[in-house]
Amino acid sequence: MFEQAKLFIDALSNVLPIIFLLLIGVFLRRINFIRPETVADIKKLIVNLTLPAVLFGAFSGVDLELRYLAVSGSVFVMCLLVLLLGRLIGPAVGITSPYFPLLLSGFEAGMLGYAIFGAVYGQESIFRFGIVDLGQVLFVFFIMVPLLERFESGARPFRATVQGFFKTPVIIAILGGILFSQLGLTESVRSTSLGNSLFETVALLGALTTPLVALAIGYELQLRSGGQRKPVLTVGIRLAIWITLGLVLNLFLIGRLLDLETGFQPAVMTMFVLPPPFVMPLFMNRASDDERNYVLNTLTLATVVALFAFAIVSMAYPPS
């Protein structure tokens, strides 16, 4: 028992820097040190500049293999199946909210996953998390967001959805990094002093992602008024489903069928303990206060739980 407790504390220490930064973000809100508009600008900086820098740097130095697509495709299919499963589970557990199935599917990789995974497993492993993320990004863009838009203002043309996907800085960075890698441009550019300086600039920008993400999330981390039963139940069901699916995916697809390097397994489990996408409240302007509080409280609770769940992930899959 003592040895297990020590292992958990050691694993939790990997996440403690993120938790401390979150607490600083909470403190900054409490003392009104910065305004909500400033935090919105910080998030815009993360999504449009620092996170794309991380992803471009990660994918530009990797030789991608065709079997990686099986991982992305499997994650997409799992998200879709869990969405459909949520429509059956909701009435059975007494949750009739139309947002319940959506809260079970999709993950907040951009504003949390990359930060905590990179902090523990290193920037050189980010591409593995990116491969897993690609499947859920496709789900969020082409399934989740259109459903949310239908709740809000009606269906959006499919062409506009596709255009929005390829205009996203994160997707542009991933595709740009892949292009650099496949064409052999990375080594060519790095071989020159100016080119190497450009890559170092990208690395410096990427290094800002984790602290900025943690401060921004901490600033917005708060429970709203309203019952906590539904959020607690939603987070519990979500974790039970995705931890089970993660173990199955790691055992059969990653470990046996594809025989991928073990670094993919913590990437899968990190993804599957993350909270639902933070973008959901942006599509709830017409939702009732009760529905909005339910979603916001679920996101807050799931974020806190994810940090401790990630400590267990890092204990089960120790960074090398």
Delimit the domains of the chain by residue range: 2-221+228-316
pLDDT above 80 for 86: yes
Give mean pLDDT, residues 78-99.
95
Judged against a pLDDT cut of 90, whether residue 92 lies above it is answered with yes
pLDDT on residue 281: 87
**pTM of the entire predicted model:** 0.90
Query: Quick one: CA dihedral 209, 211, 212, 218, positive or negative?
Result: positive
pLDDT band at 87 (very low <50, low <70, confident <90, very high): very high
Return the higher-pLDDT residue of 257 and 161: 257
With bands split at pLDDT 50, 70 and 90, how would you rate the model's confidence at 286?
A: confident
Q: What is the mean pLDDT of the chain?
A: 90
**Average of per-residue pLDDT across 248-272:** 95
**Which pair of structure tokens corresponds to residue 163?**
């255009």
Q: How confident is the model at residue 16 (pLDDT cuts 50, 70, 90)?
A: confident
| Residue 49 binned pLDDT confidence (cut-offs 50, 70, 90) | very high
Which amino acid type is present at position 44? Answer: K
Instruction: State the pLDDT at residue 149.
Output: 84
Give dist(CA 121, CA 58) in Å, integer. 13
Structural fold of domain 2-221+228-316:
Na+/H+ antiporter like fold (1.20.1530)
pLDDT tops 70 at residue 82: yes
pLDDT at 305 over 70: yes
d(CA 308, CA 320): 20
Structure tokens at 11: 């694993």
Instruction: Identify the residue whose tokens are 């130095």.
Output: 61
Least confident of 201-205, 264-268, 285-289: 285-289
Q: What angle do CA 249, 251, 252 make, to 5 degrees?
A: 70
pLDDT for residue 98 is more than 80: yes
> What would the mean pLDDT of 290-301 be, rounded to a whole number?
92
Cα angle 318-319-320, degrees, rounded to a multiple of 5:
110
114, 173 Cβ separation under 8 angstroms = no
